[in-house]
Amino acid sequence: MYVSGYFILPSTDTLGYGFGIYKANLLTFFDPVPSGSNFNWSLFLPDIKNNFGEHEGFAYLGIGGILLLFISLILCINKKNLIKIHYKYLTIVIIFLLISLSNNVGFAHIQIVNIPISNYLYAPLSIIRASGRFIWIVYYALILFALIIFYKSKIRKEYLIFALVLQIIDTSVFFKNKTINDIDLKNENNLFNFEKNLINNYSKIYSTYSSDNSKIFYQVSDILMKNSFEKTNIFRLGRYDRAEQSVNKSNLYSKMLDLNFDTDTIYVIENFDHLRHVKHLIKDLNHGLFNKQNIWYLIPEGKNLMSPIDLKKKDEIDFYEITLNSKENIYFKDKKGILGFGWSHGSYGKVYNNSGAWTEGNKSFLIFNNDEISDLKVESVSFEILQVMNVNNSPLNINVYLNNKFLTKIKLDKYDKKIQLNLQKKLKKGVNEILFEILNPITPVSKLESVDGRLLGFKINSFIFN
């Protein structure tokens, strides 16, 4: 752990969201389908519907394993002294079982136990995070117990072989399935067919939205493995320095906003928010924008390499079109949304939320089109605020700019629920850009409210142009 740099992380970054969600189900040993999956590991048993997150506690025993355990329990009950109980091992197994089930115990899709826990207890438990994985220790203990019972009972080997054959037949669907090969084929990303040697000219490959749980990691993994890049921020890690990551993202955005694109870097555009903003930034520049297998890449000085198909796909990237007096909900990474650089997911603490978006870092942008509606008709835009990050009674200070011109200054406290900006006669025809410059963002971890290390300002849920 020391050699791999584990102890360079702040202790708060060893904590993670998910305890009580990513857990095991009481019926996990008999459920052949992990929650959220369509793949059935059993040839005989149907899916048992369970709860979100319980795929982490997937521990299907298989027909052979279930039969083996069932017979062993009967033998153990009929012959009282067949096996000596080692209570220290039994205690460990029971503890691991309770941890895997967590404080929210599910039976199929029904939650039968829900025990609220305080933040002081949740914090150390969040080191475990995906507690459902502890069921694997219980799983192996049960198999070992069954095998010992069989051995002690001196049952004929044929019965054990029968259980094994039954197990192989039951789970044979996995071995016949081409899932692994199909994934490999999908990840065989012939990104630069149009210029085979182009990739060798770049020593770095960066995502515009790096995170420990990169959504594009598997899709670009072939590129990462087959080429000798010196640096990348595309990774999947269990733990990382959240605050440093937030700062690194802000620094990357600042360089791109200054049109300072490194000519030795390939930029992978990970979401639609960034895609809109990048298209807006490079409209008069000689950079290329390519879509290969649903992943967008920015190639500095690569515009001359764009094919007619590439140019057509770039033209199809849309900006939000102003609609008057229509309330629009905000979603992070929304294909038809209004967000640009500088926003992050709407979750906070133990609350997982797909709606709304947080400002992250010092600069957060909104990008929208004003082609259809005359700027004389748009008087204002207002935003519904769900939450504000500020320390004690100090307000959150924000400078607002419209198309690089100062618009107004805003001070927000935790009770503010709305931002309204006067836009009368200030919009231009075409693409417009609103910048929220957050002067004093803070991290939830600094307030001891969450292990979240993002530099946050305020969270907006919806907007309306009037």
Task: Tell me the two tokens of residue 460.
Answer: 């907006």
Given a cut of 80, is residue 186 above it in pLDDT?
A: no
- Asked if residue 184 belongs to a domain, the reply is no
What's the confidence (pLDDT) of residue 178?
Answer: 53
| Domain membership of residue 333 as a residue range | 320-465
Cβ 400 vs Cβ 460: under 8 Å: no
Domain boundary among the residues 143, 177, 211 is at 177
Please count the structural domains in the chain: 3
Tell me, yes or no, whether 295 and 415 share the same domain. no
- Asked if residue 441 belongs to a domain, the reply is yes
Given a cut of 90, is residue 44 above it in pLDDT?
A: yes
How large is the angle between the packed helices 242-257 and 272-281, nearest 10 degrees?
30
CA–CA separation, 224 and 234 (whole Å): 9
- Backbone phi, psi, residue 408, to 5°: -165, 170
Given a cut of 70, is residue 137 above it in pLDDT?
A: yes
Given a cut of 70, is residue 151 above it in pLDDT?
A: yes
Given a cut of 90, is residue 156 above it in pLDDT?
A: no
What's the confidence (pLDDT) of residue 280?
Answer: 94
Tell me, yes or no, whether 377 and 326 share the same domain. yes
Task: Tell me the two tokens of residue 102.
Answer: 């967590």
Domain boundary among the residues 315, 341, 370 is at 315
Q: Is the dihedral of CA 223, 309, 285, 361 positive or negative?
A: negative
Higher pLDDT, 127 or 104: 104
Given a cut of 70, is residue 134 above it in pLDDT?
A: yes
Residue 312, classed as helix, strand or coil, is helix
Given a cut of 80, is residue 372 above it in pLDDT?
A: no
pLDDT digit string, tens, across residues 114-123: 999 887 888 8
Tell me, yes or no, whether 113 and 206 share the same domain. no
Tell me, yes or no, whether 330 and 419 share the same domain. yes
Given a cut of 80, is residue 402 above it in pLDDT?
A: yes
Dihedral Cα 33, 38, 44, 48, nearest 10 deg: 40
What's the confidence (pLDDT) of residue 31?
Answer: 97
Tell me, yes or no, whether 163 and 207 share the same domain. no
- Proportion of the chain above pLDDT 90, given as a percent: 56
Tell me, yes or no, whether 450 and 348 share the same domain. yes
Tell me, yes or no, whether 22 and 158 share the same domain. yes
What's the confidence (pLDDT) of residue 193?
Answer: 46
pLDDT digit string, tens, across residues 267-312: 999 899 999 999 999 999 999 999 888 889 999 998 988 889 889 9
Phi-psi region of 369 (alpha: psi -120 to 50; beta: other; left: phi over 0): beta
Higher pLDDT, 293 or 438: 438
Tell me, yes or no, whether 148 and 54 share the same domain. yes
Length in residues, the chain: 466
pLDDT digit string, tens, across residues 240-271: 888 888 888 889 999 999 999 999 999 999 89
Tell me, yes or no, whether 159 and 28 share the same domain. yes
Given a cut of 90, is residue 50 above it in pLDDT?
A: yes
Tell me, yes or no, whether 244 and 219 share the same domain. yes
* Confidence label for 77 from pLDDT (cuts 50, 70 and 90): confident
Tell me, yes or no, whether 167 and 25 share the same domain. yes
Higher pLDDT, 213 or 339: 339
Residue 396, classed as helix, strand or coil, is strand
What's the confidence (pLDDT) of residue 7?
Answer: 80
Kindly report the CATH number assigned to the domain that includes residue 460. 2.60.120
Mean pLDDT of the chain: 88
Given a cut of 90, is residue 174 above it in pLDDT?
A: no
Nearest to 117 by CA among 102, 134, 138, 132: 102
Tell me, yes or no, whether 157 and 47 share the same domain. yes
